[in-house]
């Protein structure tokens, strides 16, 4: 069962950033990974948005491997944090 349904890419990325920013405000984020499938410029934009919120957070950019990338498709973006 999905956690939540959001219909457009813009809304989905905005929602994910909102959830991340809530955790940043709580002080519980140590590191963030922005993951992409052949879309480095989009990943860089997300990294900039995160660093704008909190410049002290360590943000890495990585890429989806071929197996996950095949399922998601070229141009996919994701954000993970702990």
Is 46 domain-assigned?
Answer: yes
E strands of 1-82, at which residues? 31-36, 58-63, 77-81
Number of domains the chain is built from: 1
Q: Give the SS3 label for residue 6.
A: coil
Percent of the chain with pLDDT over 90: 82
Question: Does residue 48 have a pLDDT over 70?
Answer: yes
The model's pTM is 0.87
Question: Does residue 3 have a pLDDT over 80?
Answer: no
Q: For residue 21, what pLDDT band results from cuts at 50, 70 and 90?
A: very high
Is 4 domain-assigned?
Answer: no
Question: Does residue 1 have a pLDDT over 70?
Answer: no
Is 12 domain-assigned?
Answer: no
């Amino acid at each position: 069962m999905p956690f939540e349904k959001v219909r457009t890419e813009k809304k989905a990325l905005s929602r994910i950033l909102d959830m991340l920013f809530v955790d940043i405000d709580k002080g519980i984020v140590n590191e963030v990974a922005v993951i992409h499938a052949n879309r480095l410029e989009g990943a860089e934009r997300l990294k900039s948005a995160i660093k704008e919120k909190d410049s002290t957070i360590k943000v890495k950019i990585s890429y989806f491997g071929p197996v996950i990338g095949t399922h998601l498709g070229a141009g996919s973006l994701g954000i993970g944090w702990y």
